[in-house]
Chain A
Amino acid sequence: MADRGAAEFHPSHDLELVARAAAGDLAGGEVMGARALVASCATCAELERDLHAIAGATRGLGNAAAVSASRPAPRDFRLSAADADRLRPRGWLRVWRVLAEPRRARGFGGALATLGLVGLLVSTGIAAPFDGADGAASEMTGATKDVVSAAPGVGPASTDDAAALPANPTSSTTIGAREYSNSNVAAAPMLAIASGAMLILGSALLLVSWRSRRVGS
């Protein structure tokens, strides 16, 4: 009577719990729950027995080593010289393969990615202040012009050192600052490009090393 009652509720029973119990994959309170379920429901008990039988029969199918001893592969998988030639890496691919060797790729990729990131930060850092410096230099030029025109005999221009300066005292400092800033501003994009390339290459190597956890990838 009790069995019949439980069997009516069988569709609502947790069949995966029974499967886990049959595989011995339960722990703690789940074991008690599964035992109670199997004890109260004849259909679940039958399911558990069937799963045991199926697992046993599957094990009896014979693993690859046993089967291969009596059943050869349907064709010959040996590589031809042309296959080997096609599969051997050449040129840059060879260099890439050397770099992408898992253990090497992890270290080298990490280092390259870090350098690239730092380079990118530095390049943006260089470009920003010198954009400002260029403007400041222009402003300084105008200001000095005003000072020179307003008081030609007063201030730094009146000293001996200042007398040795060229006719237009503003030009040397301004041009110097502008050249310096220009050279750095010109270097910034190059550094950014090189750093970006390093970052991409480093990330690619890290990706390769992560993927190569999978054997034979």
Chain B
Amino acid sequence: MLDSRRLSIAVRRTPQIVEDRRSTVVSDDPVQRRDLILLEQARGGDLHAFNDLVVCYQDLLFALVVRMVPDRDQASDAVQEAFFSAFRNMAAFRGGSVRSWLSRIAINAAMDAQRLKKRRPADPYPELEDDSWQPPSNEADNPVAISLQAERHRALNGALAQITDDQRSAIVLFDVEGYDYAEIAGMTGVSLGTVKSRIHRGRLALRDRLSDRMDLFRG
């Protein structure tokens, strides 16, 4: 009976392959693996695990948001809101990089903060305060070149704070963060053409604001 043909067919049938789309896909990148483990634990209700993720990414997200929302207090609020949103939407994480997932949430929070600012216009944004930051330089670097670069950054940050929110976001995401047009279109929910137009017009606006200081940038 056990050797019946029907049984052997039933036994030989290979199990159906089910695609595993959960976020527990093993990653080669140790940072990503750590993030995924922390996120899984957080999903299981472990607040400490989520807070470990917060500690890992709060500096990065703040640095990202403060470029888009030059008011540091508003930028802080936007980052806090981004982490709240991430906590609420942990179940919706579809796998991939936790870092880029959090970055996208932070970018959305920054854009919400800009919209709020637009709805309640008060003072224009203050100039970005991060002019003290300089890329790591070699000891052999010329101090004149370093101070020139600092001056250039200060002027550019000041001009960035004066252009429209949409143009600033597009330029920051494209030029500074290195996202491509399609990614920015996906993040901001506008067409590819609109993204390009915002970048081009934003650069023209920057040039307009920097017209009397262009000697810093030429040559």
B-binding residues in A (CB < 8 A): 15-16, 19-20, 22-23, 25, 47, 49-51, 53-79, 81, 83-84, 87, 89, 97, 101-102, 212, 214-217
Contact = CB atoms under 8 A, between A and B. Distances in A.
3 A-B pairs closest in CB distance: A216-B105, A64-B64, A73-B62
6 contacts: A54-B217, A73-B58, A84-B87, A215-B92, A216-B82, A216-B92
Given A55-B175, A78-B54, A97-B91, A216 B203 contact: no
Given A58-B176, A61-B176, A217 B60 contact: no
Interface residues of B, number: 64
A83 to B, nearest CB: 7
B156 A68 contact: no
Contact of A215 (B108, B135, B176, B214): B108
B135 A25 contact: no
A60 B149 contact: yes
Interface stretch (B2-10, B116-124, B193-201): B193-201
B58 A19 contact: no
A97 B89 CA distance: 9
Nearest to B181: A25
SS of A interface (majority): helix
A55 to B, nearest CB: 6
A79 B79 contact: no
Contacts of A75: 76
Contact of B91 (A59, A62, A68, A101): A101
B199 A23 contact: yes
A177 B178 CA distance: 75
A51 B87 CA distance: 41
